[in-house]
Structure 1
Amino acid sequence: MSKPVLFRVTNNLNIGGVQRRMRSVLPLLTDDFDVHVVTYKDKGVFWDELPELGVQTHFVKLKGKWDLGGIRRMSQLFREYRADIVHTHSLGGNISGILAAAMAGVPVRIGQVHSRGLHWYAKRPLHRWKQKVEESIIHKLFTDKVVHVSQESLEFYAQQTGLPADKLAVLHNGVDFNAMLPDIDPRALKESLGIAPDKICIGFLGRLEKGKGVEFCMRFARTLLSQSDKFAFVIVGGAPEDKLEAMRKEASSWGDGKSVCFTGERKDVANFYNMFNLFMFLSEAQWEGMPGVVLEACSFGLPVLARETRPVREIAGYYPRITFMEDTADPLTITEQALRLPPVDQHGFRSRFSVQAMAERTKELYLSMLNR
């Protein structure tokens, strides 16, 4: 008996939270499904890696989410492989991919929302309203289920779109704990970054863009380094080189001038989690769904210092080594408070947020939809 054919649709396979989750979970589905990924903006760093793990990759260029020629080509791809399930990601994928799946007569069509603030991303309010209306119509007419990475995202989406409750579901992210294995001694990594071995290392990981909290991190670091010389900040994430250089120049006058390091984009994030003594998560509430970087930091047993968001509160229910702070908190006081939190038993956290648990929940969703 042949396996059901699954297509996931995303804009690219570059290094990002969505793509890293897909890189981890899709190979775990290949025993039960014939798994494919189709991208429509560019290919990305995981493009050549996934086929080695049993996941076929395809590229269908789209000039925009309403590119009818591209949608038609994607539909032909689904027909060629006789797709049983199409699972799309984010606004562009949810419109183009769901339309292509409907045109191809794919039996199960699933959309996914990853964050409530960035999902309808247009700058002008009228344009954002248009995006919301367009996607809502697509889902009402053609989508079987819209999944969300947190309960907060689901509730916000339901309120904004009016979609019925039976069309919405939560599918928590997971972490591939087995893949998050460091291969560099943290002391050697510290030395390579020019950080003194006795410094308490505070980490930030994420794209250095609007909503991620990097500006708040910079203010926090400047104040903390003026209060104490015990700390160093390592900020891991991609940004245009001129922006990185500007931030490096600004931070060079803080503390001893060597206590803030900007690494740029890195694939070997496990080495950095293993070096950190404290992890900071500073994204504004509307910009995140279920933050993978917090899950990854928790998997290393790190204390986490975070701005208050409901998704992180969901994580804290399984991992209480998280300190929530107000923007007005004194940096030295709140940092020392977070560092005093004792280690916790990770069994419940790992059972809920492992990539294996995510894969099993995904499999159950797909089979339940196929067997309706």
Structure 2
Amino acid sequence: MKVLHINAGLEKGGGLFHIINLLTEAKKEGQDFELLTLADGPVSQKAISKGIKTHVLKTKSRYDLTGLKRLAQFINENHFDYVHTHGARANLYLSLIRKKINAKWVITVHSNPLLDFEGRGIMGWIFTQLNLKALKKADGILAITQNFANLLTNKIGIDNKKIHIIYNGIFFHESSDLPAKYDHPYFNLINVARCEKVKGQDLLLKALKDLHDPHIRLHIAGDGSELDTLKDLAQKLNISNQVTFHGFVNHDELTHLYERCDLAVLTSYSESFPLVLLEAADNLIPLLSTEVGDIKKMIPSADYGFISPIGDLDMIKEQILKASLMPSVELKEMAKREKEYLMNNFSLANQLETIIKAYGEI
């Protein structure tokens, strides 16, 4: 079975690590998986550094469709059995050459396709419509949660027989291999997410304001179109001294941040099965998330972490306060429990096995 994974190539966050980790696990297990990116960028560079067989189409811009013929020719001449796309731009390219290739086409839906381009005006609406049409043309869809599978069927009209549920996984480290935590004087929250409306970081800032506790500090790691708006909001709320905006951070920088953080917080309005929480748990950080996607499969009870209803500012505040008042030994035990549970259920080996099974069914 020969599989080509395709991505635009400009991902820097969870999408990059999903693709790279999956292909790294496939390489480790002797699977014939290759990667093609539409442009040179973080994804191709990371893949090459990991020894993954990588090709770059070298498109000139986001709107360059001149590579379509070359892409179809590459797929057919290399006799791929499956082409597996990640992201709206890669989906669009495959939708335009679908009838010219011999391979089966599979799409992973990493996020809510109805919200991916929210707040981007008429161009956002056009991109959304193009992506929805592409999803309907694929031979199979891998949805990261049951919630997304239901959305694809009920709101987008995709036949549920084409949809397979695939939960994200990561490489977990032995806890003894993790660097020691830094002693620090504050209760540090960390939010790792793009600064976009769908991530709900304004709720975090408002919660911090309402808690009136200078001992609680917030670190936001991510860039995006809402970054300046969030900085302005922090100033308006007079909490700038409690918030650090780190912008985009690489994996090593994030690992160092985790060494002095006490709670990983995600206040999104929509997520799939967030890798950032798996990675925080791997670093023995307790988790707080809004009730997005299939988060209850990640945090099955209050013994494993904290959950708030989506958009519920009062509950977000309550859960942050509850965590900040817990004895540190209890928080550490919660983090250990959560990591052990996730290691047993959401490893990359489990994810790859499920994907290969889905290929066969498709």
TM-score range relative to shorter protein? 0.7 to 0.9
SS in 2 for 1:152: helix
* Distance in 2 (alpha carbons) for counterparts of 1:338 and 1:154: 32
Q: TM-score, normalised by structure 1?
A: 0.80
- Asked if 1:11 is matched to 2:4, the reply is no
SS in 1 for 2:197: coil
* Distance in 2 (alpha carbons) for counterparts of 1:306 and 1:103: 43
Q: Moved runs in structure 1, 4+ residues, more than 6 A?
A: 179-183
Preserved contact between residue 218 and residue 242 of structure 2 (Cα < 8 Å): yes
- Asked if 1:274 is matched to 2:259, the reply is yes
In the TM superposition, what is the alpha-carbon distance from 1:124 to its structure 2 partner?
5.4
Partner of 1:358: 351
Alignment of 1:266-305 (within 5 A): 266-267=249-250, 268=252, 269-285=254-270, 288-305=271-288
Cα gap change, 1:181/1:259 in structure 2, threshold over 3 Å: closer, same or farther? farther
TM-align CA RMSD: 3.4
Unaligned runs of 5+ in 1: 191-196
Alignment of 1:118-197 (within 5 A): 118-119=115-116, 123=120, 128=125, 131-132=128-129, 134-135=130-131, 138-140=134-136, 142-178=137-173, 185-187=180-182, 197=184
Partner of 1:94: 91
Preserved contact between residue 110 and residue 272 of structure 2 (Cα < 8 Å): yes
Cα gap change, 1:99/1:62 in structure 2, threshold over 3 Å: closer, same or farther? farther
AA in 1 matched with 2:351: M
In the TM superposition, what is the alpha-carbon distance from 1:253 to its structure 2 partner?
4.7
Query: Alignment partner for residue 84 of structure 1, among 81, 86, 107?
Result: 81
Cα gap change, 1:139/1:96 in structure 2, threshold over 3 Å: closer, same or farther? same
Cα gap change, 1:122/1:77 in structure 2, threshold over 3 Å: closer, same or farther? farther
In the TM superposition, what is the alpha-carbon distance from 1:152 to its structure 2 partner?
0.6
- Shifted more, 236-245 versus 330-339: the winner is 236-245
Aligned residues: 347
Query: Alignment partner for residue 243 of structure 1, among 212, 219, 228?
Result: 228
Q: TM-score, normalised by structure 2?
A: 0.82
In the TM superposition, what is the alpha-carbon distance from 1:276 to its structure 2 partner?
1.3
Preserved contact between residue 109 and residue 143 of structure 1 (Cα < 8 Å): yes
Cα gap change, 1:130/1:213 in structure 2, threshold over 3 Å: closer, same or farther? closer
In the TM superposition, what is the alpha-carbon distance from 1:230 to its structure 2 partner?
2.2
* Distance in 2 (alpha carbons) for counterparts of 1:241 and 1:146: 30
In the TM superposition, what is the alpha-carbon distance from 1:120 to its structure 2 partner?
6.0
AA in 2 matched with 1:25: L
AA in 1 matched with 2:101: A
SS in 1 for 2:265: strand
Cα gap change, 1:251/1:15 in structure 2, threshold over 3 Å: closer, same or farther? farther
Partner of 2:36: 38
SS in 1 for 2:288: strand
In the TM superposition, what is the alpha-carbon distance from 1:186 to its structure 2 partner?
3.7
Deviations 1:246-271 (A, max 9, x none): 459828953xx643222221112223
Partner of 2:67: 70
Unaligned runs of 5+ in 2: none
